[in-house]
């Protein structure tokens, strides 16, 4: 409210200043265009005022005495002209008041339109900022989801690789364990000593050939492993 009051006062001051200038311009234009007798009388009054000013400056007693009667007549005429001017001034003031009222309404409408435009611009800016923030948040979420997806894929690949490695290691361990079991001689162990005859000699030859094949398979597995 205080800002509006200050704006109104400033507006009134500006309007009055503009109206004074416009009034002066309008009066001179009316003098030039209309050429009415009233205007001529006004010009005569100004001439009389100029003469009286010159009389005051010169302070000549003789001229004052001679012009006293004529001055009274001129003063009467000036009063008449002033009355006419006052009527014109009142009508002009009424017009000015009407114009000020219209300008006030126009200014209020303009201020409201400007406020509405400013509000719309502010809302649009806020919406744009919110949209940008939403887009950035969406981009961040999409980026996080993408990173998570990549991490999941990497994890799956890592798990698969680990499983493959574990499988290969298990196979290798099993093969090496079987090789060690087959290579040992249990004939000296007390729990394994029996009266049964020893196995035929070709049994060891066959087992040795199987072991050689297993070694070849191990080499192939080593080559296949990354």
Does residue 219 form part of some domain?
A: no
Q: Is residue 135 one of the residues assigned to a domain?
A: no
The percentage of residues in the chain with a pLDDT greater than 90, rounded to a whole number, is 0
pLDDT recorded at residue 181: 47
Angle at CA of residue 76, ends 70 and 78, nearest 5°: 100
HSE-up of 28 (CA within 13 Å, CB side)?
5
Closest among 109, 107, 110, 95 to 22, alpha carbons compared: 95
- 67-110, pLDDT tens digit by residue? 565 656 666 666 666 666 666 666 666 666 666 666 666 666 67
Domain count along the chain: 1
In a domain, 211, yes or no: no
Question: Is 203 part of a structural domain of the chain?
Answer: no
Whether residue 41 is contained in a domain is answered as yes
What does the pLDDT read at residue 100?
A: 64
How far apart, in whole angstroms, are the C-alpha atoms of residue 109 and residue 121? 18
Q: How confident is the model at residue 174 (pLDDT cuts 50, 70, 90)?
A: confident
pLDDT, mean of residues 53-75: 58
Beta carbons within 8 Å of 165's beta carbon, 6+ residues apart? 225
Average pLDDT over residues 22-32: 63
Domain assignment present for residue 75? The answer is yes
Q: Is residue 221 part of a domain?
A: no
Which range marks the domain in which residue 8 is found? 2-116
pLDDT digits over 141-157, tens only? 777 777 777 777 777 77
Q: What is the pLDDT of residue 226?
A: 47
Residue 79 in any domain: the answer is yes
Mean pLDDT of 197-206: 56
């Amino acid at each position: 409210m205080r800002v509006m009051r200050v704006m109104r006062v400033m507006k009134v001051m500006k309007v009055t200043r503009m109206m004074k200038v416009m009034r002066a311009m309008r009066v001179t234009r009316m003098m030039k265009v209309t050429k009415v007798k009233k205007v001529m009388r006004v010009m005569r009054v100004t001439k009389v005022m100029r003469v009286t000013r010159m009389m005051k400056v010169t302070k000549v007693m003789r001229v004052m005495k001679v012009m006293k009667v004529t001055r009274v007549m001129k003063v009467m005429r000036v009063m008449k002209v002033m009355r006419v001017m006052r009527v014109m001034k009142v009508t002009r003031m009424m017009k000015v008041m009407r114009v000020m009222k219209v300008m006030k309404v126009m200014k209020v409408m303009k201020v409201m339109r400007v406020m509405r435009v400013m509000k719309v611009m502010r809302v649009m800016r806020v919406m744009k900022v919110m949209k940008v923030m939403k887009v950035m948040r969406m981009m961040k979420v999409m980026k996080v989801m993408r990173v998570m997806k990549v991490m999941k894929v990497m994890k799956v690949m890592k798990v698969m690789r680990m499983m493959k490695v574990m499988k290969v290691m298990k196979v290798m361990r099993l093969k090496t364990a079987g090789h060690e079991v087959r290579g040992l001689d249990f004939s000296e162990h007390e729990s394994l000593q029996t009266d049964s005859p020893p196995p035929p000699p070709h049994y060891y030859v066959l087992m040795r050939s199987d072991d050689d094949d297993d070694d070849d398979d191990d080499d192939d597995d080593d080559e296949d492993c990354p």
